[in-house]
Structure 1
Amino acid sequence: MDEWIDYYDSTHTIYASRLHRDLHFQVIANDIIGYITSPDAVVLDYACGEALSAVKVANACAQLYLAEPAPGVRGRLVARFASDTRIRVRSLDEL
């Protein structure tokens, strides 16, 4: 699994375009939201990647935990969501 984490933590080209990347995260967010049964729910997005639509998920629940194994990605998530108290970023070991 370390190879996968290292790959995802690098500059990679798994998306055909920025639109492809953005749509990927929008679809994931919509799928997660479909499982939320209450606005009081606590939600875990495990191996969340860049979580570009995390705010949309956070708007549908009380607390969103973004768990990400790649340290560089996790650092960007921490910086991006530092001011949003509904979103917490964790390593997989911290769960």
Structure 2
Amino acid sequence: MTDPKANLTTERNGIPIGAKAASSWLYVYPSGFEKLLLYVKKKYNNPLIYITENGVDEYNNESLTLEEALADHMRINYYHSHLQFLNKAIK
């Protein structure tokens, strides 16, 4: 928000960039992770990067049993896909 050349968007050409999370401003866009890392590498001469936070929120569903809630397929897929694109960026 402090970079005058940066903007926050959830759409490209009027189409959402990915699946919507529980927060209105948060969309799941794993390939964007790779694109961002490659941009920073090129723009800033391959700096050391620390990823200190990565996650997604979801809607609270109180009707789920504990076992159902722990089988958190949405979050498993979120981390799996982001780690795949991280791996692609590293390679």
The two structures have a TM-score, normalised by structure 1, of 0.31
Higher Rg of the two aligned structures = 2
More helix by share: 1
TM value normalised by structure 2: 0.31
Whose strand proportion is higher, 1 or 2?
A: 1
